[in-house]
Structure 1
Amino acid sequence: MLHKYGTPAFRLEAYLLEVSSYLGVYASFIATPTSITFVIWSDKHEDEYNHAARLQPGDLDMNALSLTDELANELLSGAITLTDADIRLDAINEMPSPYGKIITGFAFALATGSFSMLMGASLAEIFWAALLGFVSYLWILWAQKSKRVNLMLEPVTSFAAGILACAISRYLDPGINIPLMVLSAVIVLVPGLALTMGLAELSSRNLVSGTARIMDAIMQLFKLYFGAFLGVGVGFSLFGENQFEPAASLPYWATWLAVGLLCFALVPIFRTRLKHIHWALMSAFIAYGVTVYSSNYIDQTFGTFLGAFALGVFANAFGRIANQPSTIVAMHGLIVLVPGSKTYIGLNSFISGQDFVQAAHVGPEVFLIFMSLVAGLIFANVVMPTRKAL
């Protein structure tokens, strides 16, 4: 169940070891993004049980993760039996999103519009990005009902966003930044967070899981870019090429507003519980604020390290105070810090030789930012260690 909710391999294995140790069971676990192997044995290895489960890569679900963690705490404290816990796990598994499809759809629109605001888009471009984000959510809903659509979700979503952006430029708003609109429309699908989790797994010596997660994230990125490249190409053929005319960006204070709106939009997307919303918003502002403030005095890469360090300390403190997984609030702050968009921009620059936003030396910068993120979180775990494996 924890695997299904997007728990990294090293945390999942540590959590399972805690539960097996409490139950007095000798066990070993190997977790990867697509499988879990269980080995359970008796004291002198007279009896041994092996089980391998084939699983799909998990999605982030902070509501189910929190409820599952609370359930495990009740089990470990003796408040409920193992049979009752098994029944409640099934109930959590079948639980729909607490926010419903309509609120989640508006959250997708708000997230894409907020991201475009962070990237310096104009008011009109922010509106169109939000509209394209809502269309992307419709594809995600369709993918939940159709296995065929789910297999091609990333390329078909970016393909549709590319064609629609070209149509908007031709008939409604000439001169918009089409590549930025497409990137904003699919930003929720850009696997920057998965890349960070993969690097964190590699740093914890979970080599198989980390490598698999990174390769899966890279393939998702390739599929997104190919769909966008094809969609914009078809759109130009149908509607004519677009001449980008830079419009006036919003003032600097709008970036702080964008961070707040983006993190607030992630609440329904990540299914964060209501009682954790203020913690999640604080994590985003702490991560972004420390990074921006420190970047005024030191290199941006070290600023990202300090932002990740502050985020890790805050998330671990939340875990101690609320007795909940630190991941619940850490994910919101990481979304602000991870350079998933810069990875996409770097791929576009490498293939087309053109930059649709100002991003010099984006390739080395992305690599250094990823390393700084992982290092910051590792140092935070040393300074403020968690009481829980999650």
Structure 2
Amino acid sequence: MDKSEFIQIRRFIVKLGKMLHKYGTPAFRLEAYLHEVALYLGVHASFLSTPTSLTFVIWSDKHEDEYNHAARVDPGDLDMNLLSLTDELAIQLLEGQLTLSEADKRLDEISMMPSPYGKLLTGLAFLGATSAFAMLMGASLREVMWSGLLGLVAYFWTLWAQYSKRVNLMLEPVTSFVAGLLACAISYYFAPGINIPLMVLSSVIILVPGLALTMGLAELSSRNLMSGTARIMDAIMQLFKLYFGAFLGISVGFSIFGANEFVPEPSLPYWATWVAVFLLCFALVAIFRTRVKHIPWALLSAFIAYGASTWSSAYLDFGLGTFVGAFALGVYANLFTRIANAPSTIVAMHGLIVLVPGSKTYIGLNSFISGQDFVQAEHIGQEVFLIFMSLVAGLIFANVVMPTKKAL
């Protein structure tokens, strides 16, 4: 291998790694995938990925050339469209359909692509996701409607954070603060007796880091200790910021508009929960930027995960039904990889979102600090712990029964 070829290869690997990290790929999947690409390209490599850094060590067969690269990166956001396109590009390269220079140029084009759904559809997705979550939490019809409108306010802050560093730094507390304040105003002027904490939680549910906590535990279980620890601590701090903002917003709202006397209302019928699962997963299509051809697979993953978890909960106690849901989801996601030749993450994330206990972590934090429960929840701390462990164990067992075809 001559010097120029080695330089071209290591540039491509570094660029590919940074892009996959940007799209929210877990450390153990990112490192394994880059290792596969490096072996195909004829070089040896070692990688270290954390939520805020990437380290590459690449060398030729006889150590004629060696290269070290360390980069400070921002934690990635889930983007299933660009992840899928990048994976397809790597497949074309590995199959000899593209040269290395062509693949390198195509990577630059992919990185510049905007969301295929635009800002309007993404805003509507926030409205749909927050409303659907309120339905899953047993909210009344008017609480579902107001939660959706507050979700639009959360989207406004999320959109603004893309253009302002200062807003991005305080995104979680300011979003939940405004949601808490507006919920108190809504209660005073339009809908007395509503469940204000439940509405606030529903409106910021997209920002609740339940998925990040699960990914962190999965990384720890795969012995990626630095990345897993960093991701879990980052998720815990996000959760604290969200709760503090909501607590402050509701306190200020009560001092301005007066305390709200919660009056329970009839919840929506049971069949509405299945409608909510569909609406939530369909909204996540735009939020996760899932490609059109993968939408049916993504929707089905949510029903498989939720259905398996709900069915098994009748026979298993203490949240262990989540283990069955995660196991069924893992088998389905790995089967999807074999059929569609695409990353299992594309469909797994949609199913995981209806299983992760991020909302219950928030509820447990509220119970611990205020001593009050805004939804019926007993032994919330033990249940959250068991659900997290069940999720990780279910995915591990699924990988044994149905091994994944590719690292992503």
Say which of 334, 359, 371 aligns to 1:341: 359
| CA distances 1:323-352 after superposition (whole Å, capped 9, x unpaired) | 000000000000000000000000000000
Q: Does 1:104 align with 2:122?
A: yes
Q: Does 1:244 align with 2:259?
A: no
C-alpha deviation, 1:302, in angstroms: 2.2
1:36 paired residue number: 54
Q: For 1:191, which of 209, 226, 229 is the aligned residue? A: 209
Give RMSD over aligned pairs: 0.7
Which of residues 219, 227, 246 is equivalent to 1:228? Answer: 246
The amino acid across from 1:271 in the alignment is: R
Q: Does the CA contact (< 8 Å) of 1:36 and 1:54 recur in 2? A: yes
1:378 aligns with 396
Query: C-alpha deviations, 1:101-153, integer Å up to 9, x for none?
Result: 00100000000000000000000000000000011000011000100000000
Q: Secondary structure at the match of 1:39?
A: strand
Q: AA paired with 1:305?
A: F
2:319 aligns to what SS in structure 1?
helix
Task: Note the C-alpha offset of 1:372.
Answer: 0.3
Q: How does 1:275-294 map to 2 (within 5 A)?
A: 275-294=293-312
Which of 50, 56, 64 is residue 68 of structure 2 equivalent to?
50
- Alignment counterpart, residue 123 of structure 1, candidates 141, 146, 149: 141
| 1:209-239 per-position Cα deviation (integer Å, ceiling 9, x unaligned) | 0000000000000000000001001111111
Asked if 1 retains the 8 angstrom alpha-carbon contact of 2:320 and 2:386, the reply is: no
For 1:167 and 1:302, locate their aligned partners in 2 and report how far apart those are by CA, in whole Å: 39
**CA distance in structure 1 between the aligned counterparts of 2:338 and 2:318, rounded to whole angstroms:** 30
Alpha-carbon deviations, 1:182-210, whole Å to 9, x = none?
00000000000000000000000000000
**How far is the alpha carbon of 1:40 from its aligned partner?**
1.1
- Are the equivalent residues in 2 in contact too, given 1:22–1:76 (CA < 8 A)? yes
Shift of 1:303: 1.0
Contact 1:144 1:150 in 2 (8 A): yes
Shift of 1:42: 2.9
Q: Distance in 1 between matches of 2:234 and 2:65?
A: 37
Any stretches of 5+ residues in structure 1 without a counterpart? Answer: none
Q: Is the 8 A contact 1:291 1:300 kept in 2?
A: no
Counterpart CA distance in 2 for 1:251 and 1:232 is: 29
* Residue in 1 that maps onto 2:8: none
The separation in 1 between residues aligned to 2:316 and 2:205, in whole angstroms, is 28
Q: Distance in 1 between matches of 2:241 and 2:100?
A: 43
Matched residue, 1:22: 40
CA distance in 1, matches of 2:48, 2:373: 42
Instruction: Show the 5 A alignment for 1:105-184.
Output: 105-184=123-202
Instruction: Please list every run of 5 or more consecutive structure 2 residues that lacks an aligned counterpart in the other structure.
Output: 1-18
Q: Tell me, in whole angstroms, the C-alpha distance in 2 between the residues paired with 1:145 and 1:62.
A: 22
In percent, how many aligned pairs have the same letter? 80
Counterpart for residue 91 of structure 2: 73
Following superposition, the deviation at residue 46 of structure 1 comes to 4.4
How many angstroms apart in 1 are the aligned matches of 2:143 and 2:259? 18
Cα displacement (A) at 1:86: 1.4
Residue 255 of structure 1 deviates from its aligned partner by 0.7
Contact 2:318/2:386 (<8 A) preserved: no
Number of residues paired by the alignment? 390
Moved more, 173-182 or 297-306: 297-306
Distance in 2 (CA, whole Å) between partners of 1:170 and 1:301 is 37
SS at match of 2:205: coil
Name the CA distance, whole Å, in 1 between partners of 2:333 and 2:318: 22
AA of the residue aligned to 1:333: G
What aligned pairs does 1:247-266 form with structure 2 within 5 A after superposition?
Answer: 247-266=265-284
CA contact (8 A) 1:290 1:307 kept: yes
Letter in 1 for 2:168: N
Q: What one-letter code is carried by the residue in structure 1 that aligns with 2:266?
A: A
Residue 41 (structure 1) shift: 1.8
Structure 2 counterpart of 1:157, one-letter code: T
Deviation, structure 1 residue 305:
0.4
Map Cα deviations across residues 231-264 of structure 1 (whole Å, 9 max, x no partner). 0011111111100000110111111111111001
